[in-house]
Structure 1
Amino acid sequence: MRAIHISMAAGLAAAAAACLQFGSPANACSRVLWNTNDQAVVAVRTWDLYVDEKPRLVYLPRGVTRQGVGGGNAAQWTSKFASVVLTAFDAGADDGMNEAGLSAHLLYLHDTEFEHADERPALSNFMWAQYGLDNYATVAEALEGLKAVRIVSSTALGREWPLHLALEDASGDSAVLEFIKGKLVIHHGKDVTVMTNEPTLDEQLANLKRYKLFGGDLSMPGDVDPASRFVRAASYLKTLPKPADAYQAVSHLAAIARNVAVPFGAVDTSGSGSTDVWPTRWGTVVDLTHKIYYVMPVNSPAVFWVDIGKLDANSSEILALDPYDIKLSGDVSTQLKSFAPVQKPFPPTP
C-alpha cells in the first residue's frame, strides 16, 4: 500500500501534529443511532462547544501515515480506509465516517480518567476516533484492535479534554467506550443507541428508567443538560415511525438532533450542575448503509453532504472545504479541493 507523506500531499501526519499542538477538543454533544428501520442504518450527532472550533470538512484517502503522540513509545500506522471527517482547529477528527461504513464520534465526559502508563504504544485521545476510522471496518474489529494501544490525555487551549468515544457500523452494531477511574468500560451491542455527556452511560441508563416509555412515571424533561437530552433523545428514538426511504430515515433522525440541540444563550435550569452545557454549532448525520455524510451547520439554513463512494480512495490528495461557506447546499462531493495543512511539531510524549 502506498503511503501519503508530507512531501507529497502535506498529509495527515501534519494534521495529526496540528491536532496535538492545537488540540481537537470534543465537546458537550448528543449522539443517536437508528438501526431498527429497514431503509438505512443512520446516526446523528450534535456538536456543541464553548468556542469557535474553526471546523473543516476533510476527505482523507487511504495510505496516510500517522503517529499517535510525539516521540517516545508512539502508536504509528498507515490508514487502510478512506474517510470523511469534521476536524477542529485543522486537527484530528472529532466526527467522521470511513468508506467501509464505520463512524466515530468524540464527546465530552467530565469524569474521564484515562489509563495509567504501560508498555502499549500511546495514542492521543484527540486521535482516538481517527485511529478507528483509519484501521477498521466494523465495531467489533475496532474494539479488538484498540486493545493494542493506550489512550493518553493531551492538552489543548490550556486544559485537558476528558473524552468518550462512540462507534457504529453499517450492520447496526454499536459501542460506547468510557474510561472510568482509570479503567476502560465498554458498552457494546445494537441496543447502545444514545449517548450524551456526564454522567456515565451506566448512570444515564439507570436514570432513563424513571421516565415514561421506559417503565417510570416522570414526564420527558425539557432542559439542556446532558441527562435531559439523553432522555429526550431515547424517547423520540423509541417512537420514530417507519421511514419510506433512506432520505426519510435521515430526516427523521435529524429532527431528533434539532430537538436535543442547545441554542446560543440557553441557560441550564435543571440544577444538575453539569459543566457540559455549550451551544450547538453543528449537526452531522451518517448514512452508513449508503456511505453518505451529512453536515447541518447552525450558521446556514442549508444541509450539505459528501457521498464517499464518489471520491477516489486511492488518490494521493487530501481534500477539504470550508463548511462556513453559507452557499454550500446539497451534494458537495465534487467541490472538495486539495488541502495541505501546515506541519506543526509534536509535543513531548505524555
Structure 2
Amino acid sequence: MRNCTWVAIAIIGILFVIFPVSGCSEFILKNSSPDNVISGRTIDFLYSTLTDTNFAMEPKGQNDISLSSLIPDEPGLSWNNTYGFVGVANFAGIMQEYNEGHLYYLDVLNEAGLSASFLWLNEAQFPHNITNPQNALFYLDLPGWIAGNFKTLDEVKEGLSSVEIWAPEGLDSTYPLHLCVHDASKKSMIIEWVEDENNNPVMNIYDGDMVDDNYGVMTNSPVYPLQLASLENYKNSMPENHFEGLPGGVSMSDRFIRLSKLNEYNQQIPYEMGDISQAFHLLNSVDVAFGNEPSFFEIRGVGSIPGDDYTYLTVVRDHTNPAYYYRSWRDQSIRKIDFSKIDFMKDASDLIPVDPNPVLEMSPLYTDLTYFFQEM
C-alpha cells in the first residue's frame, strides 16, 4: 500500500493553514419553467485563497492525468474527456509545484448539462493511502474528472466506485471539501468523505428522494443528514406566517435552512429570463457581505491573521441550454458564458478572470445613464 504524504503548502510566499471558514451555498431551482433545469451557488472563501480564480474551458478529447503522490510527483489515473466543460479554476497556488499546467476546479458545468461543485465541510476526511497508483484520483481532481467523463448521476456513481480517491495527509484538513452534483434531469447527489465509527475515512453518497425532495440544497457543516434533521424544526415556517422563526444569520446551518425554505415556496416567473433572475434572487438571501463573517488563518511561525469570509462569486447554471451566468464581488453585473457558442473540439488557452479588477479597467462596473437627463 502506498502512503501518500504531503509537506507544507506554499502560497504567495507564505505558509498557512486556514481555520474556521463557512463557505458557500448550493441549490437547484425548484419551480423553474417546465423545460428548464437551473441551479446556482455562492462561492464564499477567504480572499487570500481566491486571488487567482478564473473561468477555464477544457475541450473534448483532452488528456488529463491525476496524481498518485506529491512527494515524489507521480502520475495517477489518466483519462480523455468525453465531454467539454467550463469551470471555475482555483487551487493554482496550492498545486503550482506539482502537475504543472493542470487545472483544479471549484465548480464545473459540462456540455451535457451536468455540474459538480466543491463546498467547505469541516468534518471532511479523505483516504490517505492507495493500493493502485494507476487508479488513483487526487481529490482536488474530482470536479474536472466528473465533468469530463459523465452525463448522468448514475454514471457518476458508477465511476466513483471504480477509482481510489485520496488526499495527502494534512491537505484535506486545510481544504476540507464535500461535493454536489446536478444533472440535466433535475436530479442531485451529495458526496461526503468523513470518518466512520472506527475513525476510518469513508465515502457517503446521498441521492434520490433524500436529496431531490430538498432540491439539492447544500451548504457546509454539519454533515448532510444532520442538516436535514435541523430543517425539520422549521416545517411550519412559510409565506403565510412571513416565514416566522426563519434564521437570518450567515452561519452554515442558517444558510441551509433559509435557502431550503425560500426555494420550497419559490414561484415560476413568467418571462424569458425569469428562472435565471429568480435563482439570483434566492442566492441573494445567503450572500455574505464583506465584514459579516470574520475568519482567520494561521501563518506558521507568525500566528493568527484575521480575515473575512465573504461571497466572492455567485454563479447560476443552465443545465438545459448549458451556460454559466455569474457576478462577482467587485462587479455585480450579470455576465454569461454561452456553451452553444463554444467549439468544444478546439482548445482554448484564454482564461476569464471571475472578478475583473476595476483598477485595471478590465470591465465596467456600472452603466452610466446620466445622458438621459442631459441637454442634447
TM > 0.5 fold call: yes
Shift of 1:267: 4.2
Q: Is the 8 A contact 2:65 2:75 kept in 1?
A: no
C-alpha distance in structure 1 between counterparts of 2:169 and 2:355, whole Å: 26
Shift of 1:27: 7.1
Residues 7-46 of structure 1 correspond to what in structure 2 (within 5 A)? 28-37=23-32, 38-46=34-42
Question: 1:198 maps to which residue?
Answer: 221
User: After alignment, is 93-102 or 35-44 more displaced?
Assistant: 35-44
User: Would you say 1:117 and 2:129 are equivalent positions?
Assistant: yes
Shift of 1:94: 0.4
Q: Is the 8 A contact 2:24 2:41 kept in 1?
A: yes
Shift of 1:206: 0.2
C-alpha distance in structure 2 between counterparts of 1:261 and 1:174, whole Å: 22
Q: Is the 8 A contact 1:104 1:129 kept in 2?
A: yes
C-alpha distance in structure 2 between counterparts of 1:204 and 1:225, whole Å: 12
C-alpha distance in structure 1 between counterparts of 2:272 and 2:169, whole Å: 40
3-state SS of 2:28 partner: strand
Residues 330-349 of structure 1 correspond to what in structure 2 (within 5 A)? none
Q: What letter matches 1:235 in structure 2?
A: K
3-state SS of 2:226 partner: helix
Q: Is the 8 A contact 1:39 1:246 kept in 2?
A: no
3-state SS of 1:148 partner: coil
Question: 2:76 maps to which residue?
Answer: 74
User: Would you say 1:228 and 2:254 are equivalent positions?
Assistant: yes
Question: 1:62 maps to which residue?
Answer: 60
Q: Is the 8 A contact 1:139 1:175 kept in 2?
A: yes
Shift of 1:323: 2.6
Shift of 1:77: 0.9
User: After alignment, is 308-317 or 174-183 more displaced?
Assistant: 308-317
Q: What letter matches 2:234 in structure 1?
A: Y
Residues 73 and 220 (structure 1 numbering): CA distance in 2 closer, same or farther, change over 3 Å? same
Show structure 1 runs of 5+ residues with no match.
Answer: 1-19, 269-276, 330-350
Q: What do residues 75-128 of structure 1 show as CA deviations (whole Å, max 9, x unaligned)?
A: 111111111111115441101100010001001100111135343522122111
Shift of 1:152: 1.4
Runs of 4+ in 1 over 6 A off after TM superposition: 20-23, 155-159
C-alpha distance in structure 2 between counterparts of 1:43 and 1:211, whole Å: 23
Greater CA radius of gyration, 1 or 2?
A: 2
Q: Is the 8 A contact 2:36 2:318 kept in 1?
A: yes
User: Would you say 1:288 and 2:319 are equivalent positions?
Assistant: yes
Shift of 1:157: 8.7
**Cα RMSD between the aligned structures?**
2.8
User: Would you say 1:187 and 2:213 are equivalent positions?
Assistant: no
User: Would you say 1:169 and 2:214 are equivalent positions?
Assistant: no
* Structure with the larger strand share: 2
Shift of 1:262: 1.1
Residues 117 and 156 (structure 1 numbering): CA distance in 2 closer, same or farther, change over 3 Å? closer
Question: 2:96 maps to which residue?
Answer: none
